[in-house]
């Protein structure tokens, strides 16, 4: 075997041990490059441009899964694959120089055996085919809303977003990305852990600012579908839901609670239904409150001071199962929750026509909180006064309201 330095950077150059090379027929090389999307099968590096200068230089290498020679020094060369089939597309994978050196290092031949490399090639090429098959109408605009939870910042990078979207056969459009990495980043706002009034006001103002930009892009036709990745304090997420355009097709992506760092819905989790009932009839028909015991149970003994004894009290709960944090793990379960929430709002609209607001005590997961806000109709339903457990208090504390600024001025309760 001879070196062919004049072929360095060639798309048809297959490199072997000692930097020896062979020329692969152009039709075979083209098939491998196209199937790999011009990216390294192992690290996904783009191999059509030189990364520092941006020059149009082929920096990828065609690597043999089964070495082109059955000699002892050929990586995986002892495989029974016929020698005349070793220079075909099925036995070639596109790699960057670094990963190529790794798989051909003799000390790693057992780690990167033929079956392992074939599996990598198959999975990479399937992913490239799937991604490139997505048409323009599968584009979605990403909205990320992250805050601190229990004093710890929520992390959500591009890779996790893209992975979740591809599971739904969608690809991301980052129209809403601003100067910061995240579209709505609440992590720098002080006072989240104790739930200070300043925190709720600042979080609301930040949401209104960023969602105003979203509405502008919707009017311009730049945003036609929205994918929401949100994890922050529950009152903030309910507010978020009220600010989303109800005419814009929207999908919610929850943080998975299976121990992984992934986002999106489970396909094999148990499905749950929901119901609501009146747990106390109040003397004043204009006062109404709702407990939502879904991810946990709202403690009625902690309602003192938040609502009066003359307030009618409802509770929304899962049917036949105990409230739990991972109860809403499928899209269909969220739909059932949302249907029950809408039915409860309709009941309140009919039974309490004079109510100025609805006191809400939500123990719900993040996606359900956003859905609560989305299904609140301002023209038909009273605004929500949202209460939450706040550090240092034995009772639920008022956090924020879905009412407008003018409505809040006239509401002293």
User: pLDDT, tens digit, for every residue of 257-292?
Assistant: 877 778 999 888 888 999 999 999 999 999 999 999
Asked if residues 352 and 385 have their Cβ atoms less than 8 Å apart, the reply is no
CA triplet 259, 119, 265: central angle to 5 degrees? Answer: 30
- Return all residues near 221 (Cβ < 8 A) that are at least 6 apart: none
Q: Given 1.20.120, 1.20.1740, 1.20.1420, 3.40.50, which CATH number is that of 137-253? A: 3.40.50
Over range 330-357, report the average pLDDT.
96
Please report the pLDDT score of residue 186 as a whole number: 92
- Residue 197, pLDDT above cutoff 70: yes
Please report the pLDDT score of residue 2 as a whole number: 31
pLDDT band of 4, cuts 50, 70, 90: very low
Sketch the domain layout of the chain as residue ranges.
Answer: 5-132, 137-253, 274-409
Asked if residues 314 and 277 have their Cβ atoms less than 8 Å apart, the reply is yes
Q: Residue 359 forms beta bridges with which residues?
A: 289, 385
Beta-sheet pairing, 92-95 with 358-363: unpaired
Please report the pLDDT score of residue 150 as a whole number: 74
What are the tokens at 226? 């929205």
Three-state SS string across 316-358, please?
Answer: EEECCCCCCCCCCCCHHHHHHHHHHHHHHHHHHHHHCCCCCCE
What are the backbone angles phi and psi of residue 249, rounded to the nearest 5°?
-55, 125
What one-character DSSP code corresponds to residue 135? Answer: -
- Residue 218, pLDDT above cutoff 80: yes
Asked if residues 198 and 327 have their Cβ atoms less than 8 Å apart, the reply is no
* pLDDT mean across residues, the chain: 88
């Amino acid at each position: 075997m001879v070196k062919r330095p004049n072929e360095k950077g060639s798309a048809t150059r297959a490199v072997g041990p000692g930097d020896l090379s062979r020329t692969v027929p152009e039709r075979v090389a083209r098939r491998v490059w196209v199937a790999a999307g011009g990216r390294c099968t192992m690290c996904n590096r783009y191999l059509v441009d030189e990364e520092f200068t941006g020059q149009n230089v082929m920096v990828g290498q065609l690597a043999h899964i089964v070495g082109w020679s059955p000699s002892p020094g050929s990586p995986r060369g002892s495989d029974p694959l016929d020698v005349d089939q070793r220079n075909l597309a099925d036995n070639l994978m596109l790699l960057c120089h670094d990963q190529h050196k790794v798989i051909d290092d003799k000390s790693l031949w057992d780690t990167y055996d033929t079956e392992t490399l074939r599996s990598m090639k198959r999975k990479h090429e399937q992913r490239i085919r799937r991604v490139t098959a997505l048409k323009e109408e599968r584009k979605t605009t990403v909205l990320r809303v992250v805050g601190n939870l229990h004093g710890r910042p929520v992390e959500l990078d591009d890779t996790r977003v893209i992975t979740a979207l591809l599971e739904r056969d969608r690809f991301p459009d980052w129209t809403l990305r601003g100067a910061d990495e995240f579209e709505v980043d609440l992590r720098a706002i002080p006072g989240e852990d104790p739930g200070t009034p300043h925190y709720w006001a600042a979080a609301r103002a930040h949401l209104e600012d960023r969602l105003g930009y979203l509405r502008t892009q919707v009017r311009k036709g730049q945003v036609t579908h929205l994918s929401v990745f949100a994890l922050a304090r529950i009152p903030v997420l309910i507010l978020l839901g009220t600010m989303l355009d109800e005419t814009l097709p929207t999908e919610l992506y929850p943080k998975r609670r299976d121990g992984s760092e992934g986002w999106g819905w489970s396909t094999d989790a148990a499905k749950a239904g929901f119901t609501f009932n009146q747990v106390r009839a109040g003397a004043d028909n204009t006062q109404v409150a709702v407990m939502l015991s879904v991810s946990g149970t709202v403690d009625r003994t902690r309602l003192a001071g938040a609502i009066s004894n003359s307030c009618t009290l409802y509770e929304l709960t899962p049917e036949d199962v105990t409230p739990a944090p991972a109860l809403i793990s499928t899209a269909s379960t969220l739909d059932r929750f949302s249907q029950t929430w809408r039915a409860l709002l309709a009941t309140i609209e009919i039974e309490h026509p004079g109510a100025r607001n609805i006191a809400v005590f939500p123990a719900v997961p993040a996606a359900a909180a956003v859905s609560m806000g989305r299904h609140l109709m301002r023209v038909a339903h009273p605004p929500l006064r949202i209460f939450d457990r706040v550090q240092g208090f034995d009772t639920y504390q008022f956090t924020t309201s879905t009412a407008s600024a003018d409505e809040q001025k006239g509401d002293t309760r």
